[in-house]
Chain A
Amino acid sequence: MSQDFRLKDGGLINRDKKISFKFNGKKYFGYEGDTLASALIANGVHLVGRSFKYHRPRGFFGAGVDEPYAIIQLYRNGETEPNIKATEQELFEGLEATSVNCWPSVNFDIGAINNFLKIFLPAGFYYKTFMWPKSFWYKIYEPFIRKAAGLGTASIKHDKERYEHKYEYCDLLVTGSGPSGLASAYAAAKNGASVILAEDKSRFGGTLLTNDVNIGNQSGKEWAESIISELKEMPNVTVKNRSQVFGYYDHNMLVMSERISDHLPRTKKFHPKQRLWYIRAKEVLISSGSIERPIVFGNNDTPGVMLSSAAKEYMKVYGVLVGKNPIIFTNNDSGYETAVEFKKNGIDATILDTRINPKSEIIDEATNLGIKIKYSYVVVAAKGYKKVKSADIAKISDDKEKLGSIENIKCDCICVSGFWTPTIHLASQSGNKTKFDEDIDAFVPGLSKQNERTLGAANGVFTLDETLKSSFETGYKISKQITNKENKVSFPNVIEKKSSVHDKFWCVPLPKGKNYKRFLDFQNDVAVSDIEIALKEGYRSIEHVKRYTTLGMATDQGKTSNLNGLQLVSKIENKVVPAVGHTTFRPPYSPVSIGAIVGREVGKHSKPTRKSPMHSWHEKNNAVFVDAGVWLRPRYYKRGNENLFEASKREAKNVRTNVGVCDVTTLGKIDIKGADATELLNRVYTNAWSKLPVGKARYGVMLREDGIVMDDGTTTRISDNHYHMTTTTAQAANVLSHLEYYLQLVWPELNVNVVSTTEQWAGAAIAGPKSRNLLQKLFPNSNVSNDGLPFMGYMEADLFGVKARIFRISFSGELAYEVNVESDNGNFMWEKIIEYGEEFKIQPYGTEALSTLRIEMGHVAGSELDGRTIPYDNALEGLLSKKKDFIGKRSLSRKAFTADDRQKVVGVVPLDKKTSIPEGSHLVKDSKAPLPNPKLGYISASCWSVEYDNPFSLAILKDGKNMIGQKLFVMSPLKNKVIPVEIVSSHYVDPKGERVRS
């Protein structure tokens, strides 16, 4: 297809590079530098989608970020992405895109029946209709809404693209590279400030690219280019295009999304697709410009009705005509600039100006060029369904209430200008108290909350001379405060046309007997009548009206609809606009891809992965790993076709009969030193530590202030004032913070230092009846006999030339030791243990066997110490010192904690000795009792006892101490199981603890 609407020359596109692309399956051509929108318009394509609610035909309305209509589904390099604005998507070779919101096709859309049913779809329709009957929701309403609604389809494939995050600090962040942005960035940079200049579009310059102005004897575009190229060379300046500052957060932190590869057919190797910048700026200069507002009239959503500034941009930047027979409908001088541009390209436009008799330079120019101008005229309604074919126009009375007789004139587009709305989103997000400016009929930033200032059009200043002057001045002043320098750049001479005042007219009245839809929000299909209904139904607060009608709630966040919506509410309510107030602006200013927000923190990178020094040995020996906090731990070592159950049973059994070795590097370790180290332990542990001799370990329990068990572990006295504390893997970080809290804030007088040594030591637990025999082989020069190293003993020893610490402690309930060496020697230690353990039939065991061993011994662990249990519940009340106070002690005397029937840990065995018990199941007295069946307790941990070869569980049970021998039921509604069980002692194996002391 030929580009019938492409001008012969002009524009900033590269006509030497033709690009082919597909839209809705059809092939077209454009040029390098086009957007998908400009290329489609060049090919005469104006129908790009269907609207959200009524499925009315949708074309293009703008030329950039404000676009409410042209949302497309993009296909790029085998991936698809929804919710892309065709006006922002740069063209690349092989681009493919499809319309959204239409089925089966954009030309014939079944959902358009909503349009004919629109009488049934007024404001709040969804709230009112789809509420009942409830049974209809899943089968009828939801599928219907899902199919008919939405702005595209999210990919369900894993996103292979890479997204990065970057943190940056600067003196000055300038958002937008229009005249105010360039001038302020330049003045500040020349005065030594570090500056980041962010431009949302691919081209720098903003309105300087489209406005006929002269700065320092250069065209606006040339001036912008020279400033940008100079800024790019400066070492203290970062200049970024395709980069949108979308959020203004606390303490002057702004977030910017940089689209690095979206304009390319595929992302270059080692490049990210997008990069999210977290920028902490000392000062922010908001130079985000303004967005043209529409004037509301009948059928103003017809394809071909668009913003006048967009029509001009398509001509000047892309060399594209939006139509060949245009009507310009304006209430200010901006429309004339578009008409003059059309004329320069040989197209005669008709201007309808709502003003009575305006005078200005540009109006004179238009008149002299012979452009047809009709004053006090309005467009009453656009005619045509899939494209504007003509317009009903009429003269309007001076009070703007009465329409004259309707005339119909042919046209192929209607370019609307209802004056300009400053883009105050960022200022508002920062907490700025915005104020209403009567002169421009819009909100502008008021009192700053953070270090932010708004310049130029975003601040309601619409003359170039004033914009540049204030921006140069502000850039200089702010940089001087930061750098203390006084390098002032000279101010260029500016030539621009003076404009006359705009007319505050914004909505064309309905002619008698006509009921045209007059749209305010083009993306969410909110019309004047919807707002009227909402107000009639009693909605008053603008925030409520917004939510009820969905005005301004679409992905464009009402960039073109908010102010007109406010005008309407204030008119009906007979209030002034500032009294109605505007809705809150929230980040992001424009949609940001989820990938960019997540960054590199996906999959395995979502948290750090910690591996023990023996990790590669585990890998080589078929370990199957499990996440334990941030650690990767062997869950079991697979032999042949074994599954988890078989392998863990074999490993646990081998510990009970021979000897096993388990990697316990992950246990938290804290080194405690200082004259008051013992006193600290006395205060944070429930038991007493003063009498622990050097070279001995002790089990300790730590509480929170509320009496709940926080953690447990063994602590060993290395020397008089030096302890080695161990914590559970999961609580290691919390315990260190807990100790630091008390040492720094509550007892600063204690002379103690604590430091984490978790990563400094590699640990191996050697457990089983033959563990001592193995130890004797490993440490032939040390006395590891029962006398030389008794239960809870500690010694330092030599492991074939490597310094080692041996603790005789046991988690498995067997005779057991833990050997620690410096991390670098971890693998050496492990290999020696395996080598010398061979004659004792040693097997490595993983966390699953470890768990089995501790459960059948009745050792409580994380699943019982779950942040809801006190020492008594865990049968740890024997460790509560009566002689001293400790953290959490006072809470233990609370009534509930001392109740006679307080919950306590028990053992649970199924009566059939076969059915395994799901963890998390409930214990009840009567399995057939009516619901809600009173719950007596819950299963905290389950295993297959290798000692007795039947299932065994631990449970926290109400009145546990008096329940031993009782028959109850385990119920798991989740797994649909009812299991008759007997309550037994939690110490299922070796209840007297003889093995550990043997």
Chain B
Amino acid sequence: MLHIKCPHCGMRSQNEFSYGGDASVKRPQLGSEVSDQDWDNFVYNRKSLRGKHWELWQHLSGCRQWIKVERDTATHEIFKTLKASEEIS
């Protein structure tokens, strides 16, 4: 079970969180023109990386904040966590 540092609450066990997918995906602006290709990439296409990966988690049973977590998908090492408002560096 992972131990995730919530930027708001501190170190908490994985069972308090839910996984939310790739954090680097940017939703196209509402009302903007989006090509089929770009829309497919946004909705469906993910890289499924092996190694360092920025992902979203929600601290569901805690502060309910969505956070960004940089995790190695192979080793589970967590390098950094950010608040929703903080940009991935």
Where the two chains meet, the residues of A that have a C-beta atom closer than 8 Å to any C-beta of B are 167, 249-253, 278, 280, 431, 449, 683, 705-706, 737, 740-741, 744-746, 748, 884-886, 890-891
**CB pair A737 B3 closer than 8 Å:** no
Question: Of the candidates B13, B20, B27, B30, which one forms a contact with A886 in the assembled complex, judged by CB atoms under 8 Å apart?
Answer: B30
**CB pair A737 B84 closer than 8 Å:** no
CA distance A745 to B60 in the complex (A): 15
User: Contacts A683-B30, A740-B64, A885-B31 given: A250-B1 contact, CB under 8 Å?
Assistant: yes
Lowest 8 CB-CB distances: which A-B pairs, in order? A251-B3, A744-B84, A885-B30, A885-B31, A250-B76, A744-B66, A253-B1, A745-B84
Question: Of the candidates B13, B18, B30, B75, which one forms a contact with A431 in the assembled complex, judged by CB atoms under 8 Å apart?
Answer: B75
Interface string of B1-41 (1 = CB under 8 A from A): 11100000000010000101000000110110010000100
Residue of A nearest to B36 (CB): A894
Question: Counting CB contacts under 8 A, is B58 at the interface?
Answer: yes
CB distance from B39 to the nearest CB of A (A): 5
Residues in A with CB closer than 8 Å to B69 are none
Question: Of the candidates A737, A744, A884, which one forms a contact with B60 in the assembled complex, judged by CB atoms under 8 Å apart?
Answer: A737
Where the two chains meet, the residues of B that have a C-beta atom closer than 8 Å to any C-beta of A are 1-3, 13, 18, 20, 27-28, 30-31, 34, 39, 42-44, 56, 58, 60, 64-66, 75-76, 78, 84-85
**CB pair A278 B1 closer than 8 Å:** yes
CA distance A167 to B16 in the complex (A): 13
What's the count of A-B pairs with C-beta under 8 Å? 55
User: Contacts A737-B58, A890-B34 given: A745-B3 contact, CB under 8 Å?
Assistant: no
User: Contacts A250-B1, A278-B1, A741-B66 given: A746-B76 contact, CB under 8 Å?
Assistant: no
Question: Of the candidates B43, B75, B76, which one forms a contact with A891 in the assembled complex, judged by CB atoms under 8 Å apart?
Answer: B43
Residues in A with CB closer than 8 Å to B20 are 741
Residues in B with CB closer than 8 Å to A278 are 1
CA distance A133 to B60 in the complex (A): 53
**CB pair B30 A253 closer than 8 Å:** no
List 26 A-B residue pairs with CB atoms under 8 Å apart, sorted by A's residue number. A167-B13, A250-B1, A250-B2, A251-B1, A251-B2, A252-B3, A253-B13, A278-B1, A280-B13, A431-B75, A449-B75, A705-B42, A737-B18, A740-B66, A741-B58, A744-B65, A744-B66, A744-B85, A745-B66, A745-B84, A748-B85, A884-B31, A885-B31, A886-B30, A890-B39, A891-B43
Residues in A with CB closer than 8 Å to B30 are 683, 885-886
Residue of A nearest to B76 (CB): A250
Residues in B with CB closer than 8 Å to A737 are 18, 58, 60
CB distance from B30 to the nearest CB of A (A): 4
CA distance A617 to B44 in the complex (A): 48
Residues in A with CB closer than 8 Å to B64 are 740
Residue of A nearest to B18 (CB): A737
* Interface secondary structure of B, over-half rule: loop
Residue of B nearest to A891 (CB): B43
**CB pair A891 B58 closer than 8 Å:** no
Quick one: which of A683, A705, A890 has the most chain B CB within 10 A? A890
Q: A251-B3, A745-B84, A890-B39 are in contact. List 19 more A-B contacts (CB 8 A).
A: A167-B13, A252-B3, A278-B1, A683-B30, A705-B42, A705-B43, A706-B43, A706-B44, A737-B58, A740-B58, A740-B64, A740-B66, A741-B66, A744-B84, A744-B85, A884-B31, A885-B30, A885-B31, A890-B28
CA distance A929 to B28 in the complex (A): 48
Residue of A nearest to B39 (CB): A890
Residues in B with CB closer than 8 Å to A741 are 20, 58, 66
Residues in A with CB closer than 8 Å to B66 are 740-741, 744-745
CA distance A748 to B66 in the complex (A): 12
User: Contacts A740-B58, A748-B84, A890-B39 given: A251-B76 contact, CB under 8 Å?
Assistant: yes
Question: Of the candidates A253, A449, A740, which one forms a contact with B3 in the assembled complex, judged by CB atoms under 8 Å apart?
Answer: A253
Residues in A with CB closer than 8 Å to B42 are 705
Residues in A with CB closer than 8 Å to B18 are 737
**CB pair B84 A891 closer than 8 Å:** no
User: Contacts A251-B76, A737-B18 given: A746-B3 contact, CB under 8 Å?
Assistant: no
User: Contacts A705-B43, A744-B84, A885-B31 given: A249-B3 contact, CB under 8 Å?
Assistant: no
Residue of A nearest to B44 (CB): A706
CB distance from A375 to the nearest CB of B (A): 50
Residue of A nearest to B64 (CB): A740
Residues in B with CB closer than 8 Å to A251 are 1-3, 76, 78
Residues in A with CB closer than 8 Å to B34 are 890
Residue of B nearest to A742 (CB): B27
Residues in A with CB closer than 8 Å to B44 are 706
Residues in A with CB closer than 8 Å to B78 are 251
CA distance A431 to B72 in the complex (A): 14
CA distance A249 to B1 in the complex (A): 7
Residues in A with CB closer than 8 Å to B84 are 744-745, 748
CA distance A431 to B74 in the complex (A): 12
Question: Of the candidates A745, A890, A891, which one forms a contact with B56 in the assembled complex, judged by CB atoms under 8 Å apart?
Answer: A745
CA distance A666 to B17 in the complex (A): 24
CB distance from B73 to the nearest CB of A (A): 12
Residue of A nearest to B32 (CB): A885
CA distance A741 to B18 in the complex (A): 12
Residues in B with CB closer than 8 Å to A744 are 65-66, 84-85
CA distance A843 to B63 in the complex (A): 42
Residues in A with CB closer than 8 Å to B39 are 890-891
CB distance from A282 to the nearest CB of B (A): 11
Residues in B with CB closer than 8 Å to A748 are 84-85
Residues in B with CB closer than 8 Å to A706 are 43-44
Quick one: which of B18, B39, B42 has the most chain A CB within 10 A? B39
CA distance A94 to B66 in the complex (A): 57
CA distance A744 to B65 in the complex (A): 8
Residue of A nearest to B34 (CB): A890
CB distance from B80 to the nearest CB of A (A): 15
CB distance from B4 to the nearest CB of A (A): 8
Residues in B with CB closer than 8 Å to A449 are 75
CB distance from B40 to the nearest CB of A (A): 9
**CB pair B31 A746 closer than 8 Å:** no
CA distance A280 to B14 in the complex (A): 12
CA distance A252 to B3 in the complex (A): 9
Residues in A with CB closer than 8 Å to B75 are 431, 449
CB distance from B50 to the nearest CB of A (A): 16
Residues in A with CB closer than 8 Å to B60 are 737
CA distance A884 to B27 in the complex (A): 17
Residues in A with CB closer than 8 Å to B56 are 745
CB distance from A879 to the nearest CB of B (A): 18
CB distance from A245 to the nearest CB of B (A): 15
CA distance A779 to B34 in the complex (A): 53
Residue of B nearest to A683 (CB): B30
Residues in A with CB closer than 8 Å to B76 are 250-251
CA distance A992 to B64 in the complex (A): 43
CA distance A449 to B76 in the complex (A): 11
Residues in B with CB closer than 8 Å to A884 are 31
Residues in A with CB closer than 8 Å to B28 are 890
Quick one: which of A250, A253, A706, A748 has the most chain B CB within 10 A? A250
CA distance A737 to B19 in the complex (A): 11
CA distance A921 to B60 in the complex (A): 38
CA distance A431 to B76 in the complex (A): 11
CB distance from B2 to the nearest CB of A (A): 5
Residues in B with CB closer than 8 Å to A705 are 27, 42-43
Residues in B with CB closer than 8 Å to A683 are 30
CB distance from B25 to the nearest CB of A (A): 10
CA distance A886 to B44 in the complex (A): 18
CB distance from A249 to the nearest CB of B (A): 6
CB distance from B72 to the nearest CB of A (A): 11
CB distance from B5 to the nearest CB of A (A): 10
CB distance from A431 to the nearest CB of B (A): 7
CA distance A886 to B34 in the complex (A): 14
Residues in B with CB closer than 8 Å to A280 are 3, 13
CB distance from A944 to the nearest CB of B (A): 40
CA distance A706 to B76 in the complex (A): 29
CB distance from A267 to the nearest CB of B (A): 28
Residues in A with CB closer than 8 Å to B3 are 250-253, 280
Residues in B with CB closer than 8 Å to A249 are 1
